[in-house]
Structure 1
């Protein structure tokens, strides 16, 4: 007596489905090489951290306190040792205030992540000081700058450190601050020569900026499209490619002039 063809077909389909089900089950349980990110903290580089000025200058006269704010913006990401599973990725995928990023993009290289972040921050600060003093034609032999920014690490604070130093030392060149009383946020790496570079997590950073009161956001000009994709209402994106370009943009913001726009 032969088997019913329909029963044979169902048995065959069931057997074929077993490996797929097994693979799906494994995918649900196995950690994935991703980090989950969300809007992080902002820090006013013209303000204070742990009761001390974020930017402290010695060896040169400083300007009066700026009435506005220059907000350096971060993302908050899961730790490198955290297990991120398929279900976590799926939940984050459908939220605008979450992002799934390759772990290597958040924590590049080998070794201790906190140590690398500390090293990157130190290097970023050195580049920011060099860029700012060069812009003002000052020598680091005469002017000593100390930077503090708590837990806001990595190289993406470089541009705003440089702007903060210039604000402290020279302001707008006429005795006033760079901001014109506005809250201006932004992000970007900086080279000693003043070139602004791209950073990660820009859409999340725009959300953090608007959340904390910014109305303008300085963004590396190569990342305008990325920033515009999830731009919060009420936040104007200002593309910059250099420290000089950022200073020019701030002048337009102060004077209600022709502010560059993404």
Structure 2
């Protein structure tokens, strides 16, 4: 066999061996890519995303799209070839597996956590939107969850309204933990609550819940094996709201808290005669608090790509994500920096009136 032919054959066999090894060798990475975007002003799955009854709504035009990121499943085993392709590709990103699924979190656990965060983001968006419009919202502190095999199990229940702890009035969810941890493990703590059933009946009737009960729960150490001896009872307190009219957000198969800002803006647009977008295509992302503060999210680069592919011209970007997003801006997309819902509403008004030179744009630090 001629030397040149033998060399080519050996090189080919080596290349095949390397490709096989690349396919067989697994690496601890996952992949993120642009996901679907949904117009919060429009329909999804045959029904409006934002549904309001009991209050006047107004016609809207344009787009206020929330954006998503696709991620590989928790049990996806990436090989070397896939990792290299992902690193070289522009429209996706390879990240350590633990970034998406920390502490060995399963697919089911991650989905459950994302669903809870998505539900909470909807509530926060409703409150933020109504506060922006100066529409009163009644808020109270409730028992969100009760841990199994903890002192509060069977004594307190999810949905109980917490009025006071040891006689001290409770105004914020954080107040509950602060008052409980004043005790030493083994000491009793007294909760003044409105039982969940009575609270639900009062809310349905449009009344403030009354008829309190005093419930004593003996505390225990949080985790004595790890040296954590602060007192707990095994509940998580959270906010519950009574809205003056009905607001439903109909969007399935989406998780996480990052759509909060766009839901809130969609509601503001629907509940006011002004046309926030002026018919423009605006997309965005960001968590939102009940006070209207906008927080950062993950996968910002994937979201800007997905938004531009759908036709977005402007992208509302959390201030803390701006520097990262500005490093690789898709052509034709303007990144607008927002810190809170006031910023976002003002920028939308500027966009609708063509005052784009006044927009606070994202830049690389």
Q: What interval of TM-score do these two structures reach, taking the shorter chain for normalisation?
A: 0.7 to 0.9
Q: Distance in 2 between matches of 1:26 and 1:236?
A: 39
Asked whether the equivalents of residues 98 and 204 of structure 1 are also in contact (C-alpha less than 8 Å), the reply is yes
Asked whether the equivalents of residues 203 and 229 of structure 1 are also in contact (C-alpha less than 8 Å), the reply is no
Q: How much has 1:146 moved relative to structure 2?
A: 0.5
Q: CA 1:167 to 1:143, structure 2 compared with 1: closer, same or farther past 3 Å?
A: same
Cα shift readout 1:88-142 (whole Å, capped 9, x = no counterpart): 2211111111101233433456352222221111111111111111111213431
**1:209 counterpart residue number:** 307
Q: How much has 1:253 moved relative to structure 2?
A: 0.6
Name the stretch that deviates more: 150-159 or 241-250.
150-159
TM-score, normalised to structure 1, is 0.83
Q: Unaligned regions of 5+ residues in structure 1, if any? A: 1-24
Q: CA 1:260 to 1:199, structure 2 compared with 1: closer, same or farther past 3 Å?
A: same
Q: How much has 1:206 moved relative to structure 2?
A: 0.7
Q: Unaligned regions of 5+ residues in structure 2, if any? A: 1-20, 138-241
**1:35 counterpart residue number:** 30
Task: Determine whether 1:61 maps to 2:163.
Answer: no
| Candidates 127, 132, 136, aligned match of 1:135 | 132
Name the stretch that deviates more: 46-55 or 105-114.
105-114
**2:67 counterpart residue number:** 73
Q: Distance in 1 between matches of 2:300 and 2:268?
A: 24
Task: Determine whether 1:224 maps to 2:322.
Answer: yes
Q: CA 1:131 to 1:202, structure 2 compared with 1: closer, same or farther past 3 Å?
A: same
**2:335 counterpart residue number:** 237
Greater strand share, 1 or 2? 2
Pairing 1:48-197 to 2, within 5 Å after superposition = 48-64=43-59, 66-107=60-101, 110-111=105-106, 112=108, 113-138=110-135, 139=137, 140-170=242-272, 175-197=273-295
Q: Distance in 1 between matches of 2:97 and 2:257?
A: 17
Name the stretch that deviates more: 105-114 or 197-206.
105-114
Greater helix share, 1 or 2? 1
Q: Distance in 2 between matches of 1:48 and 1:26?
A: 44
Task: Determine whether 1:44 maps to 2:39.
Answer: yes
Q: CA 1:107 to 1:159, structure 2 compared with 1: closer, same or farther past 3 Å?
A: farther
Cα shift readout 1:131-176 (whole Å, capped 9, x = no counterpart): 1111112134312210012223211101001101111111xxxx23
Give 3-state SS (helix, strand or coil) of 1:41's partner: strand
Q: Distance in 2 between matches of 1:181 and 1:108?
A: 41
Cα shift readout 1:18-49 (whole Å, capped 9, x = no counterpart): xxxxxxx69962341x3201111000011112
CA RMSD in angstroms comes to 1.8
Q: CA 1:108 to 1:192, structure 2 compared with 1: closer, same or farther past 3 Å?
A: farther
Q: How much has 1:226 moved relative to structure 2?
A: 1.0
Tell me the number of residue pairs that the alignment of Structure 1 and Structure 2 aligns: 232
Q: Distance in 1 between matches of 2:278 and 2:51?
A: 21
